[in-house]
Amino acid sequence: MRPHLALIEDDPDFALMCRSYLEREGFTVSWAMDARAGQGVLREAGVDLAVLDLGLPDGSGLELLRGVRSISRLPVIVVTGRGAEADRVAGLEIGADDYLVKPFSQRELVARIRAVLRRSQPPETPEVLLVGSLRVDTGARQASADGTLLALRPKEYALLEVLAGAPGRVFSAQQLLEQVWGAAWQQSATVVEHVYRLRGKLADLPAPAPRITTVRGYGYRLDP
């Protein structure tokens, strides 16, 4: 599939040049000319990376970057005419994945985008996760124990896959919201409810099936 980029840039000539080149290089590009429109583009489903100018007419690109970082891990490349060290440090400390100072070549922008996309890809997980008698088939998105198939809703399965990928590790509610729901702004009660339902389904399995343990003040872990 063509990677989907959000281009947030107020200079129409520069933006059109970038969009034309990026589309020829195999990307899908959604363009926004200011911070408000940029927020709308970033809410679109399937945006893989944002190219963000700092000098926007209705606000600071750094503030927009800060807002993005507060709720997601979306890769962001900052492009700007501000080449001072303080500006670069501020962008990187807030969470930019890369920083390009204008003027730059379109070839370099494409190379930086592809490098950031490669780095942002999650590590490959084994096709089948085994935790005690539990078998989680990530390809089929099914879980079973001793031949008994668990009837799981999509988010229950996704939650179990995350926990089974690192048995014994404690995951906070915030981490589970980001990894399962892709949005930290959801209420932690969402995690509590899904853990409760998933725990009940695991408890119905013949012993010794894995169990979800609550670590008070920290989060949840899957114990073999």
54-105 pLDDT tens trace: 888 888 788 888 888 888 888 999 988 876 677 677 777 888 888 888 888 9
Smallest Cα–Cα separation from 97: which of 127, 72, 125? 72
Please give the domain boundaries of the chain with CATH numbers for all domains: 4-120 (3.40.50.2300), 128-223 (1.10.10.10)
**In the structure, what pLDDT confidence band is assigned to residue 26 with cuts at 50, 70 and 90?**
very high
63 to 8, 77, 89, 96, 199: CA distances (angstroms): 13, 14, 14, 12, 40
**In the structure, what pLDDT confidence band is assigned to residue 42 with cuts at 50, 70 and 90?**
confident
122-154 pLDDT tens trace: 666 568 999 988 999 988 889 998 888 899 988
pTM check: above 0.85: no
